[in-house]
Structures are given as C-alpha cells and as structure tokens.
Amino acid sequence: MMLWRAIFDRPRSGPMNMAVDEAMLQLVGQGAGPPTLRLYGWARPTISLGYFQRAAAEVDLEACAADGVPVVRRPTGGRAVFHDDEVTYSIVIPQAMMPGSVLETYRLLSGGILQALAYLGLHGELATPAVRGDGAGATGRERYGGNGGHARRAPGDGMQSACFDSPSWYETLVGGRKIIGSAQTRQGGALLQHGSLLVGFDRARLAGLLRSGTRRDRDELAATLGRRVTSLEAEMGRRPSRREVQRALACGMARALSLYLVSAGYSAREREMARRLCREKYKTSEWTMRR
C-alpha cells in the first residue's frame, strides 16, 4: 500500500491555486516533496486557460472583466474551465509511480473518480471517444487535457474553447454527460493531474464568458452544454457539501489506487515557492496572455 499526503485546502485565488500545484510538481520532481492528493476550491469564480490556448481568441476578456471573473493560465493542457461551483483535485507524484502513457494514467486515476461517485451514490462510466488525439506515450514536458489532444481549433468557436463541451479519453460521465474535466502535465520526472468535479453548473454564465459570437450563438452554446454536462446536484437530487465531496474523492482515490492517505499541510519550501510562482508567473499578464 502506497503512502500519500492528503491536503484539504481552503479556497484560494486562481494564481495561487496554480502556483501551489506547480510548486508541488517541481519539488516532487526534485525528490523534495511527497506524493500528494490536494483537494481545494476557488476564492472567486475564475476562468482557467489551457497551456496552449490563445486567451483573447478563446475567452471574452471584456465580459470576464465586467462579470468580475479573473482569468488565469494553467500549467496543463486542455481548454478553458470555469471554476465556480466545484471541488477541484490535484495529484502530484513521481512519474516513475505511473510510468505508462498519459492515457493509461488517465484510466488509472479515473478509477478513483468512479469510486468517489459510487460513495456519493452515483454510477459513473469512462468515456472512450471514437477519435482521439496524439496523447499516448507522452514524455518530457507533455501537457494533456481538453478533448484528448492538442489539435488547433478555429478562434472564437465557443464549443471548442470550453473544457466541458465533450469528454476526453477516460474522463468520467454520469448518464452519458460529463461531470469532471481533467488535465495533466509531466515535467522533470514528476506528474501533475488536476481536475474539476462539478457540484453545480451555470452553463449560461460560462457561455457568456467564452468568445462564441452573437447572443444567439451563446444561447446555442448554453443549450448544448446543458445536454452534454451534468453536476452532482443535478444527479443526486440534492446539493452535497464541499466536505462530503472532498471526503468521497479522498476515499475513492485511496480505495482505487490502494493508498494510505495522511492528512498534512505544506512544507515551508512549498509555501515559499508557491508565493514566488504566484507573484512572478501566474499573476502576470506575460504568462496569462502569452499566446
């Protein structure tokens, strides 16, 4: 049985959330941090961009500013995610612990999500789309997420900008609709995967924040998201507490991966590195708007 650290974190800003995940990734790669499951939230509704996305082409920055929704860029691939009514997880481990391809790792870690849903009384299934991107066999600084690859898409196509518009390989569905989106990167011998488990979902608000054309286009996008995306509240017929969802994710990962989780906090080195990364990288327009 493997021993991992579990961090039940408080909600933080978008830049700090990404800085913490990267600080853990760097230190695990250096052999200076333990394998970790982190469960966290967002201090305010935030859009996170995938590593490869072009901010101005994918997100309506004026609409975000008017709605008070900040934009941050993730260190992982994939498409835009609206972080609001959710519980977010991140897993940071040495890559040698899961030496297979990105897709194989997705499949293994998705077992923990399926088990978490079972603890919440839901039946989940893994998506296996008919067409996949070139995500297998990732090495070096590969970043993966969104719709199963890094294919370029037409700017301003809201359906192609949103992470939750369609499932990736081995992402989790309930009743045929996506309930969680995940993304992954591998750097310096370590692996980071993080994802958003939807407690609720405001599809109209998300559609209004993406660069998706006319009001009619945005209405169509909201309707399509409603058909393709679900949430714990919708499926359970009640609103689970954040603590209940965090506990289900922790227990699900522990059971599926044969883990012994020990609740702990951050090291002084992690805190110092996260503050520096937040200040020098994730809060800067050079990073967020770099594409």
Find the domain containing 167 and state its range. 2-282
Please write the tens of the pLDDT for every residue from 122-132. 999 998 865 33
Q: How many CB atoms lie within 10 A of CB 62?
A: 9
DSSP-derived 3-state class of residue 19: helix
- Strands 190-198 and 86-94, bridge-based pairing: antiparallel
Bigger pLDDT: 127 or 14?
A: 14
Does some domain include residue 238? yes
Determine which helix (DSSP H) or strand (DSSP E) holds 247, and give its type and residue range: helix 242-257
Whether residue 289 lies inside any domain: the answer is no
What is the C-alpha separation between 115 and 120, in angstroms, rounded? 9
Q: Note whether residue 288 is domain-resident.
A: no
Residue 22, domain member (yes or no): yes
Distance of alpha carbon 51 from alpha carbon 75, whole angstroms = 6
With respect to residue 291, please indicate whether it lies within any of the assigned structural domains. Answer: no
Domain assignment of residue 76, yes or no: yes
Residue 161 lies in a domain: yes
Alpha-carbon distances of 182 from 31, 35, 219, 263, rounded to whole Å: 25, 18, 25, 23
Q: Which of 74-88, 132-146, 230-244 is predicted least confidently?
A: 132-146
- Residue 206 belongs to domain with CATH number: 3.30.930.10
What average pLDDT does the segment 151-174 reach?
56
Catalytic residue IDs: 163
- Kindly indicate the confidence band of residue 109, based on its pLDDT and cuts at 50, 70 and 90: very high
* pLDDT at residue 141 greater than cutoff 50: no
How does the average pLDDT of the chain come out, rounded?
Answer: 87
Classify 146 in phi/psi space as left (phi over 0), alpha (psi -120 to 50) or beta. left
b/e per residue, 174-187, with b = 16+ CB within 10 A?
beebbbbbbbbbbb
Which comes out higher in pLDDT, residue 54 or 218?
54
Q: Of 291 and 210, which is predicted with more confidence? A: 210
- Total structural domains in the chain? 1
pLDDT above 90 (res 217) = no
Contact 136, 169 (CB under 8 A): no
The answer to whether position 165 is within a domain reads: yes
Residue 157 pLDDT exceeds 50: no
Query: Are the CB atoms for 59 and 47 separated by under 8 Å?
Result: yes
Q: Is the pLDDT of residue 168 over 80?
A: no
